[in-house]
Chains A and B, each alone.
Chain A
Amino acid sequence: MIKSAMKPLYFTFIISVLFLAACEQPNSPDFKVNQKIQTPLMSEKTYQFLGGSDALVDSTDPDFEDFFSSDDNGLVRLTKDEDFNFGNLDDAIPEVDVNSKQVSSQVGELALGDFSSQGDDANLGSTSFQDMTGYPAPPAGTEIPEGETPSSDPAEISISGTDYFVSATIKNGNLVLVFQNDLGLDLDDVTVDLFSGSTFVASGTSGPVNDTNEGTVSVAIPSGTVLQNLNVEVSASWSKQDLKDNSNTLIVEEVGGENLVASQVEAALDSQDFYASGTVDIDDSNFQFTKSDHYIELESGQLTIDQIVNQIDLTLDTLQISFPDIRTSPYNPADSLVIKFEGSSQIQRSSSTDPQPSKNRSLSGLRIFANGNAIDYNIKGVTEQTKGTADEVRTLNESDGFSAEVGINNLAVKEASGVVMPREVIVNDDVASNGTDIVDLFNNDEAQTISINALSDISDQLDGIEFNNPELSISYLTNIGVPTTIYASIMGTDASGNRVYLKGKQSGSYYVSSTKASTLNQLRTDGTPVSSDQLIKFEINATQNGTPNLVTFNKSETNVDEFLNNLPSDIRLISLAAVNESSEEGTITDPVEFNPAMSVDIPLNLTASAAVYRDTVAADLSDLPDPEQDDRRLTEGTIYVNYTNNLPLGAKLKMIMLDSNGDEVTRVPSADEDGLVLEAASVDNSSLFVNEAANGNLTITLNEDQLNRLNRTSDLEFEITLNTSNESAVRIKAEDTISLKVSLSTAVESTVN
């Protein structure tokens, strides 16, 4: 029974064992897969030669602002203007100095007029009929025989009432007496003998003088006669006649001078005029007035008249000093500068204790026409009239005079038209630290420095480019009206510190000879006077209508090709302006503007020899296995590069894998191998432009070491070394391009266990 019952149990047991044995169990994984990653890595990237930030040359970079242009046929030109900051050439303005001038004038001969203040009908003295005839006067109607005053007893008249006259030392002239004939006789002639005190001076006659008429006798006074205490002896002659009914007297009514001048007087005087003229000399070492229309126009300056000394015991009602060569606008002769002392500024008499006035006149805006470098001046003085004044009698000598100091000082020239004498002017700032009148190219405070970062950036991106026909120009604006030569030391320094001086070739006009260079001691390079091969010269002339003048240095006359192919990022300049070396006429105006700008013009007609361009693109390959940490490893790696080259330049390509810190992970091809060759586009032989692009594929196989490093790659740098075929010249258009596509094929072996 039990045995029978166990049969199904056995059967069930067997089935259960079979079940358990048959159950399929998954085992632990243990396998390898070799996964490929074959994918485009970088879509086609086109590097236009000239363009935005992804171009070979980023013309939008602020450093390249206005740097690139292209001409009508598309040829790229590199152009750049950089201004120098010289300010002006004020030192080119001649300095004009005028020595102070002592001016003076003497009052000169003293004129004597009326001797009396009593007028025409005065009675300055008289004589009677009897004194004149020697017998008493008969009644009227009585016939008077012909006769004359007895010569032994002439009628004497003592002159009185001449209140205007005390004394005088006469130089020449006549004394005039006017008398009234009231003798009752018609006189045929009247003779007057003049006495100074008791000293006979001279005689004079009047001619016929009828009764009741006035007669005049003019007595010529001998030079040196001292007149004082005047008296006269009068004698007359007459014809037979009846005595007329009259007062029977002869009266002296007037005494005065006729052209009577004296060297010294004590008298009451009329107003006296006196004059003087002369010149004030201008220093001619800096500027010469060689023609009457040469002038300097003054920015500022003063004319002073002071230190006035008046030896005349007369107040000068007016003193006028005129300068016909100093004119106000509009600068005609009638516009002469006139300085007057009058009114409140009149010059006081010598005996006055009041201070003498002075004058100070601004000369700003005035022009000096000083032909022969001499400024004329004229002095006119007018003294006071003392007659009728309380203190009317003065004593004057003809040598009494007036003097003053005329100064023309602090002249600043605004414009000079004439002959500016040759002078050398340092254009740069001149600091005292290394000596005055010395500028050093390596002194940062003196040398003008400009940075043409564009060239520097080009050198960063396209190291190795050699420009074939570069030009460097200096454009400038200047108002200098005289021939001027700039002697400049211009040094360009590239990013590596290589220095090249711009210099003229010996056959050209920009060449500075050694002889000339040796005279330019003001220009130094690190303390040493510049040499001929560190100098270039060029002439500047006044610009018209605001249009800059241009001085262009090309490679036929200068070493500008060497200078610019050094790709200077920093240009230093010191210069000296040699003004009017040939002493020509001209006009120079303050400020003497000199605003130069350096202009670089480089047509991209170039030769490239290992010009290197670099560009970095993101390429995160961190998903690739790290052999030190992963069970996965790269077993294969191939980079494919497809290119289309529209540049007339061949290229060698290297790719540098960079980690997140920018450090090199690896590079392909390796450092000791040549880059992969991208063929140049073919170039038209005549135009030198590209006429057909080159296409190709490049394959780069990574070795094991490179594969192991690949996962650290964060960025991919393309290093493109450009070369012209056989280093021959080609021409590049802005739109010339090179296009690259990159794809990647890797195999990743992953072990799962």
Chain B
Amino acid sequence: MTGVTDLDPVIHAAARLRISATLASLDEGDRITFPRLQELLDMTAGNLSTHLRKLEDAEYVTVTKAHQGRTPVTYVTLTRRGRRAFEDYTDALRALLGGEK
């Protein structure tokens, strides 16, 4: 094993790792509202949006807008691809740690 591996750069950043970890802790197919996600992450709305966009660009999350009565609600969900990427990422981390010891 070499020192540099191909850890997924989309996930391998503190903020996006925390977002992915949070979304992955939901059941597959569950979606969470933007404000609740923000609450669970202690992130500002702007910061969260920025990182969600990057995850969205990689097709790891989908952001959907719905209406509850008249109020718009934004839902975030981890795509199948995103869940697989997160699992691959954690597997890679474990392999690296195992390989190191």
Q: Do A and B come from one complex?
A: no
Chain A interface residues (CB < 8 Å from chain B): none
Chain B interface residues (CB < 8 Å from chain A): none
